[in-house]
Amino acid sequence: MAYKKKSKKSKKHVDSVVAHVKSTFNNTLVSITTTEGDVLLRGSSGKLGFKGARKGTPFAAGQIGNMLAKDMQTMGVKNVEVNLQGPGSGRESVVRAFQGAGLHISVLRDVTPLPHNGCRPPKKRRV
């Protein structure tokens, strides 16, 4: 049986991407997608080794941003649209990390879902 040499996977070259940042009180999740929605890169605080309460800190979010920005620059990314979701403290840190790495942020969008008077509240507490 002849040995077949595997061809190397070619690196994708993308000019502009969308960064989806979900920032909760306990963690920060970042997904980098193409404008069509295909996921290119992902990162979270837990992936970098932060545990417990430190995952929700702005420092951890900045580290995620730096790691993903480095990976994006190898892909040739210049422009980034950022979708921010959630109430956490890591929202601005990710954006600052992208800017510090030299990426141009074209759009900052807040896509946090807001209820239009959604669920019924719990009944009144009787003491």
Q: Containing domain of residue 28, as a range?
A: 16-110
Residue 24 lies in a domain: yes
Residue 87 lies in a domain: yes
Q: How many domains does the chain have?
A: 1
Regions of the chain where pLDDT drops below 50: none
- So what's the pLDDT on residue 127? 86
Residue 6 lies in a domain: no
The conformational region for residue 49 under phi > 0 = left, psi -120 to 50 = alpha, else beta, is: left
- So what's the pLDDT on residue 9? 64
Residue 9 lies in a domain: no
Residue 125 lies in a domain: no
Q: What angle do CA 17, 21, 26 make, to 5 degrees?
A: 160
- So what's the pLDDT on residue 57? 94
CATH number of domain containing 25:
3.30.420.80
Residue 124 lies in a domain: no
Whole-structure pTM over 0.75, yes or no?
A: yes
Residue 42 lies in a domain: yes
pLDDT tens for each residue of 95-119: 999 999 999 999 999 999 998 999 9
The phi, psi pair for 52, rounded to 5°, reads 65, -135
Q: At what angle do helices 58-75 and 91-100 cross, to 10 degrees?
A: 40
